[in-house]
A and B are shown apart, each in its own frame.
Chain A
Amino acid sequence: MSTDPLKQRITMLRYRPWRGELRGPWSGVLAIARVSLGQMFRRKLFWGLFGFSALIFLFYFFGQYLGVFMQSQLTGETGTVRLGSGVGAVTVRPENMIQALTKTLKMNGSADTFANFIWFEGYILIIVLTLAGSVLVGNDFSHGSLPFYLSKPISRWHYMLGKCLAIGVFVNLMTTVPALLLFLQYGMVDEWSYYWDSFHLVVGILGYGLILTVSLSIILLAFATWLRKTVPMIMVWVSVFVLGRIVAKLIVDGLKFSPSWRLFDLWNDLYLMGASCLGIPLETMRPGPQPPFWQAWLVIGGLCAFCLLYLRRRIQAVEVVS
């Protein structure tokens, strides 16, 4: 600061009082969410991972298109089709391809299409959320930004809601939004009647998205609050989802124990909850056998409740003044 008295006098003139109406704490929630999104969007790693998730979307997008196109063009034809020329040429049976796309991969605009699509997106989403957790929440603890937020006229719940909103945007950007685009696309390439005949699927997709948004943001917030730093966050978060799946698979598929042991696999639990929203029968779900839907709801609901209790205890405004 200047020591020159004249300059000081000029500096003082620059201070102008602000007269305006202050809004309630809810406006702060949106500001927190917006800033959090900005923090993530600045990172190249995020865009790289988002690119991978877009590849899954494109796979489904063109798979659905190809399935419908082939059905419309080749129905009734038998025999083989030679694709390409020379050494690299392959001979395929069109009905086998249609079978693979629509029956095996379920790229047919059905409830299974969207459930499977979100299942596969989960692999990338879990990694993105690890990054989001350490950047958006872990940093607030490890760099001491929490007092900045909580010394303002907002409560810890407003802070958490702002962060959850930002996490929810990533979750939906990689699951619900592309799933809805796939729904729109299928109606366009198939028949217009698909939209109203299958409108319940839109509700199911939105329900699945809501489940993922609420549960993943709460669980992630609790993990990031607990672990704070990026490396432990990656290790534990990925372990929970990857090891959980391996353990569940070993117990249920290897040792042939009760399907309820599959509840160790958190992503599978979310998948079950989403499937119940989309109206998929339990018996047709893969990998099978699966535990009843209610058990998955109970596990995820209980985990979220535990995380909220932990967050209530851990994020406290009284930490503002050390």
Chain B
Amino acid sequence: MESLVELRNLTRQFGTFEALRGIDLKLPPGRIGLLGPNGAGKSTLLKILMGLLAPSSGEGTVFGIPLVPGADGEGNWQLRRLMGFMPEADALIPGMRGVDYVSLAGELYGMPRRDAQRRAHEVLSYLELEDARYRRLEEYSTGMKQRLKLAQALVHDPPALLLDEPTSGLDPAGRDAMLRLLLELGTDHGKSVIISTHLLADVEAVCERVVILYGGQVRGFGTVRELCASRQDRYRLQIQGDPSAFREELRLEGVEILSENDRGEMRVVVPAKWITRAFFALAENHGVVIRSLIRDDETLEELFFRTIEKK
């Protein structure tokens, strides 16, 4: 499969409100983060990718299946067979046992009953819920519920997983375990993982690529590494000596100091046409020694805020 998702000039309107505007996107299989503030269009995009909502105009394919504008999106059920969806909300059926819940999910995906039952046991064991599989869902902890929701998305072994805030409500250890699991599913089992989240650290931990949505438009797309390294105006330097005069001089030269600590480390943004040697010249003038100077990438958080504030 060449591309997982391919969208061309795709729009979605709700009355006069345009939730998505002219989306052009080509996502290869892999681990992809969908970032954006509330109202950016993430949910609408997820619904279109799941075949629950049809685009108003434009065209596109998901797993090679065309998205038909204006159609009853809910009817595109073939799309939902090819992906497992983990909702943000609990979405549990009270009174059911874990294994029955996952097995029901398998049957709803179209698996024969016997296969669904066997597979439910396998997936729950894989997610280390084997001891809890006969418990009623009300007795599950938050972390277990999250893993159970992942189990029901994974039961039919789909090529892609769509995860809506997968670490929502988890403690740090549970969150770490969930992210590691998603990474393993992507790297070791070849699953494509699309994560919609507000948590930039989750995307950084799992995803190779990131799509930044804002105001219904794609504001940034690429690998996390490429995007964060796209700016060549950041440096991380460590100095020895009294930094106050040096710092003042840097400011006068138009250098923005992002952060610094008492160990003499600072992160700076230099103005255009800055020559790296200027750091050394300024340091020498103020009796400061530069012990290290390396080019610094943006963090995903900085990239995100810069991207959404750009226009």
Q: Which residues of chain A have a CB within 8 Å of any CB of chain B? A: 1-2, 11-12, 14-20, 22-25, 27-28, 31-32, 35, 39, 42, 139-140, 143-156, 316-318, 320-322
B113 at the binding interface (Cβ < 8 Å): yes
Chain B residues in 8 Å Cβ range of A18: 111, 115, 119, 156-157
- Would you give 5 A-B contacts (Cβ < 8 Å), ordered by A? A18-B115, A151-B52, A320-B87, A321-B88, A321-B164
Decide yes or no: A320 and B52 within 8 Å by CB, A1-B128, A22-B156, A153-B109 being known contacts: yes
Please state if B180 and A1 are interface contacts (CB–CB under 8 Å): yes
Instruction: Decide if B46 touches A321 in the complex (CB within 8 Å).
Output: yes
Docked complex: B144-171 residues within 8 A CB-CB of A: 152, 156-157, 164
In the bound complex, CA of A54 to CA of B93 (Å): 30
What is the count of residue pairs linking A and B with beta-carbon distances less than 8 angstroms?
136
CA distance A146 to B152 in the complex (A): 14
- Which residues of B have CB within 8 Å of A12? 184, 188
| Contact A145 B91, CB 8 Å, known A15-B126, A152-B108, A322-B43 | yes
B122 part of interface (Cβ distance < 8 Å)? yes
Query: Cα distance A31–B111 when bound, in Å?
Result: 11
List the one stretch of B3-11, B94-102, B220-228, B251-259 in contact with chain A: B94-102
Q: Which residues of B contact A316 (CB under 8 A)?
A: 74
A22 touches B91 (CB 8 A): no
A152 contact set on B, CB distance < 8 A: 80, 105, 108-109
> Is B92 an interface residue when CB atoms closer than 8 A count as contact?
yes
Measured between beta carbons, the chain B residues less than 8 angstroms from A139 are 93-94
Closest A residue to B49 by CB, please name it: A321
> Do A321 and B96 contact each other (CB < 8 Å), given the known contacts A1-B128, A152-B105?
no
Contact between A153 and B77 (Cβ–Cβ < 8 Å)?
A: yes
B177: A residues at CB distance < 8 A: 1
Besides A2-B128, A35-B96, A145-B92, 11 other A-B contacts (C-beta < 8 A): A14-B126, A31-B107, A139-B94, A140-B93, A143-B94, A144-B91, A148-B91, A151-B91, A152-B109, A154-B108, A155-B75
- Interfacial chain A residues near B115, Cβ < 8 Å: 18, 20
Q: Is B271 an interface residue (CB 8 A)?
A: no
* A147 / chain B contacts, CB cutoff of 8 Å: 87, 89, 91
Residues of A within 8 A of B126 (CB): 11, 14-15
* Per-residue contact bits, chain B 226-259, to A (CB 8 Å; 1 contact, 0 not): 0000000000000000000000000000000000
Residue B108 contacts which of A14, A153, A321, A322 (CB distance < 8 angstroms)? A153
Q: Which residue of B lies closest to A157 (CB)?
A: B74
For the complex, give the distance between the alpha carbons of A205 and B170 in Å: 55
Distance of A11 Cα from B127 Cα, bound (Å):
8
B269 interfacial by beta-carbon distance below 8 Å: no
Residue of chain B at shortest CB distance from A29: B108
**A1 and B181 contacting across the interface, CB-CB below 8 Å:** yes
* Contact of A144 with B110 in the complex, beta carbons under 8 Å: no
In the complex, B53 has a CB within 8 A of chain A: yes
Contacts of A150 in B (CB 8 A): 52
The residues of A that contact B81 with a CB separation of less than 8 Å are 22, 153
Q: List residues of chain B with CB within 8 A of the CB of A156.
A: 74
- Tell whether, in the assembled complex, residue A318 and residue B52 are in contact, meaning their CB atoms are under 8 Å apart: yes
Check B189–A148 contact: CB distance below 8 A.
no
Nearest 10 Cβ contacts at the A-B interface: A22-B110, A152-B108, A31-B107, A153-B77, A1-B177, A18-B157, A148-B91, A153-B80, A151-B85, A23-B110
Nearest Cβ in chain A — how far from B122, in angstroms? 6
Whether a CB of chain A sits under 8 angstroms from the CB of B78 is: yes
User: Does B50 count as interface, using CB distance less than 8 angstroms?
Assistant: yes
The reply to whether A149 and B108 contact each other, CB–CB distance below 8 Å, is yes
A18, A32, A156: most-surrounded residue (chain B CB, <10 A): A18
Q: Is B132 an interface residue (CB 8 A)?
A: no
- Shortest CB distance A187–B (Å): 38
A-side contacts of B78, CB under 8 Å: 153
Whole-angstrom distance between the alpha carbons of A147 and B89 in the complex? 8
